Structure 1
Amino acid sequence: MIRWNVVLAGGIGSRFWPLSTPARPKQLLPLVTDAPMLRDTLDRLRPSAPPERTLVLTNAELRDAILALEPTLPPENVVAEPRPAGTCAALAWAASLIARRDGPEAVMVCTHADWAIGDVPQFRDTLDRAAETAATTHALVTVGIVPSRPDTGFGYIQPGTAIESAPGAAGEVRRVARFVEKPDQARATQMVADGFLWNSGIFAWRVGDLLEEIAALTPEVQPALVAAGTNLERFFADVQSIAIDVGVLERSARVLVLAGQFGWDDVGTWAALHRVRQHDGQDNAMSGPTYALAASGNVVHAEGTQVVLYGVNDLVVVAREGLVMVTTREHAANLKTLLDAMPAEVREP
């Protein structure tokens, strides 16, 4: 099996304002460890495919920064999208590129650059099994995370009937019965009790199988893919924006799910860092020059300035030179409201 790793590393991470900027988005920030999140992602994937079989899909503005972060990547393997067009367009282009280089039987394993992973060996083992399943069944395989809580911020997958002929333990690989968009709290609680899985965005498939399904099911992408040939600019100029889940997976009868349990977290907000960072003795998740007394449950990220907390709980404090942002962990998920209301000279100093 020829395996490629494909990392989605676009976007600017506006929910990590004021640290995340278009020139330095969250995937290039040291939010979970002392290394940028993309650096951690590439290190996790490195044993399974060499740099010449690793693609990073990103914004045109970030190409140089990513090559500086990972100089072993061939420049042509950092795919700079001229404009955002959704995950379906990005992954379709990646599949066509891989097919041209290594043929339709090559397997691509897709991850995102902004995750925290607790058990890296188990993560790698799960991705290996997903790749093997895709290679042997010609299915589109997604990894569903066994939930640790009813979370309204994630989509969910309902596993269906078991595929006994798939690699691994009996019943481990199942058909996807349905995808469910982000639910309310009551529904999330019930789905966790019923055995639903979180929709992680981890995928594995033979590139030829994905391209077949796009040709049959995704008119938003297929005409542009055919017309563009090898011209990336033309493809992104013509393609319609759509997510891979909506454009392919929800329309396909060839989707399987493999359950994964390896401490996965989609680090989507400042509050999420309380789940994935180490805590001090007062249950604070702090990074940088900080000090806390009689304070608990806080998330603090300080760059270039000291932060002192006294007698406060469950706050998010982000400090950099010239600017300090303070909110609560509850409100940190909705920074868009703040950014929309803020004067431009504060929002973009």
Structure 2
Amino acid sequence: MTARSTSPESLWAVVLAGGVGSRFWPMSTPQRPKQLLPLVDDQPLLVNTLDRLRPLVPPARTLVLTNASLRAPILALVPDLPPDNVVAEPKPAGTAAALAWAAKLVAERGGPDAVMLCVHADWAVGDPGTFRDTLRRAADAAVAHRSLVTVGVVPTRDDPGFGYIQPGDEIEPGVRRVARFVEKPDRSRAARMRAEGFLWNSGIFVWRAGDFLDEVDALCPEVAPALKAAGDDLQRFFDDVTPVAVDVGVMERSRRVLVLPGDFAWDDVGTWGALGRVRRHDEAGNATTGRTHLLDARRNVVHAEGNAVVLYGVDDLVVVSGDGLTLVTTVERSSDLKSLIDSLPDDLRQRR
């Protein structure tokens, strides 16, 4: 095993908290997007994320990258975050740009050897202690091997909604090179890859700021020129950069990528139906929040804000109610609300 090579003081957390999360309509709005909603428990997802990281990294070394319109709400929600640590992206530009700018800030404030723990704000993690232990191991591997480390989550189902990682040669116990990244497969291929030991591409990344910036400079022409030219001008950087995902712009091009397996009850909170996997259930498998009453009902997801919701004799439904509007669909159909949202009149679609 890698000897402990990372000092706690060198760790920085980078939380990606942009986007609106349209699949959580009607609760998710531009002013209160998914990451600010209490979807797993009674705390907003972003607060869950920061609380999960806090035993590893204090707020003073935590950066949150988000939409410009959300900077003030986030500072109000998490008052111990230094204002300079909430970075307002002028417009969406992909995760490669966001993480490159974050790496620049971390290198300036903590030095190029500072280690970034990069996560998203919209996950559920059932075992926070093991999650933190895995991040520590990933940090040690990143420092020891001067590598970009990704945590590949051990799959719990044949899910076509995720990308996958094929682990390659082992360089130390539990740490392997990445053989390849695979885009979202169909379900039968996902089943084969799971059986062959592939891991979910979770989007958890750990690296030293300087190592990541070196790879951006060498491999990512979409981002590197804009980063060099911008200096400290965030607006100029986002005006000039070409949007690209970090997986495509850096990770798939780099020969310095390692993967560590992660097994800590992780799930991507991507749809209303997904809440059935991450919320507490009653004996009939119903996952509810707010004032609800269910009789002879199974495997339903109910999110009630203000209004009471009563279900009788129905199974596998999603019911979302609050602020004068109620959505009813099935768990299966909740993964694709785009057609519904596109069909709505403006006063319903553009809720504020």
TM-score for both structures, normalised by structure 1: 0.97
Cα shift readout 1:73-114 (whole Å, capped 9, x = no counterpart)? 110000000000000000000001111112111110101111
Output aligned runs, 1:252-267, within 5 Å. 252-267=254-269
Aligned position for 1:48: 56
Instruction: Name which of 18, 29, 39 aligns with 2:26.
Output: 18
Alpha-carbon distance between aligned partners in 1 of 2:350 and 2:19, rounded to the nearest angstrom: 17
Percentage identity across aligned positions? Answer: 67
Output aligned runs, 1:8-87, within 5 Å. 8-87=16-95
User: Which runs of 5 or more structure 1 residues have no equivalent in the other structure?
Assistant: 165-169
Aligned position for 1:269: 271
Alpha-carbon distance between aligned partners in 2 of 1:345 and 1:41, rounded to the nearest angstrom: 32
Structure 1 position 146 matched with structure 2 position 154: yes
Aligned position for 1:174: 176
What is the deviation of 1:253?
0.4
Alpha-carbon distance between aligned partners in 2 of 1:187 and 1:3, rounded to the nearest angstrom: 37
Aligned position for 1:92: 100
Alpha-carbon distance between aligned partners in 2 of 1:84 and 1:303, rounded to the nearest angstrom: 30
SS in 2 for 1:198: strand
Aligned position for 1:167: none
What is the deviation of 1:342?
1.2
Aligned position for 1:215: 217
TM-score for both structures, normalised by structure 2: 0.96
Alpha-carbon distance between aligned partners in 1 of 2:109 and 2:49, rounded to the nearest angstrom: 24
Alignment length (residue pairs): 343
User: Which runs of 5 or more structure 2 residues have no equivalent in the other structure?
Assistant: 1-6
Aligned position for 2:295: 293
Aligned position for 1:227: 229
Aligned position for 2:145: 137
SS in 2 for 1:270: coil
Aligned position for 2:165: 157
What is the deviation of 1:43?
0.5
Letter in 1 for 2:308: Q
What is the deviation of 1:50?
1.4
Alpha-carbon distance between aligned partners in 2 of 1:346 and 1:74, rounded to the nearest angstrom: 36
SS in 1 for 2:274: helix
SS in 1 for 2:52: helix
Aligned position for 2:252: 250
Aligned position for 1:198: 200
Alpha-carbon distance between aligned partners in 2 of 1:116 and 1:35, rounded to the nearest angstrom: 12
* RMSD between aligned residues: 0.7
Alpha-carbon distance between aligned partners in 2 of 1:348 and 1:237, rounded to the nearest angstrom: 27
Instruction: Name which of 15, 36, 39 aligns with 1:7.
Output: 15
SS in 1 for 2:229: helix
Alpha-carbon distance between aligned partners in 1 of 2:146 and 2:311, rounded to the nearest angstrom: 55
Instruction: Name which of 119, 125, 128 aligns with 1:120.
Output: 128
What is the deviation of 1:174?
0.1
Alpha-carbon distance between aligned partners in 2 of 1:146 and 1:278, rounded to the nearest angstrom: 21
Alpha-carbon distance between aligned partners in 1 of 2:86 and 2:314, rounded to the nearest angstrom: 44
Cα shift readout 1:90-141 (whole Å, capped 9, x = no counterpart)? 0000001111112111110101111000111100100111111111111000
Structure 1 residue ranges (4+ consecutive) displaced by more than 3 angstroms after TM superposition: none
Aligned position for 2:185: 183
What is the deviation of 1:281?
2.1
What is the deviation of 1:291?
0.7
Alpha-carbon distance between aligned partners in 1 of 2:201 and 2:225, rounded to the nearest angstrom: 28
Alpha-carbon distance between aligned partners in 1 of 2:281 and 2:126, rounded to the nearest angstrom: 15
What is the deviation of 1:49?
1.4
Letter in 1 for 2:350: E
Alpha-carbon distance between aligned partners in 1 of 2:50 and 2:292, rounded to the nearest angstrom: 29
Aligned position for 1:111: 119
What is the deviation of 1:310?
0.8
Aligned position for 2:4: none
Letter in 1 for 2:60: E
Instruction: Name which of 281, 284, 289 aligns with 2:283.
Output: 281
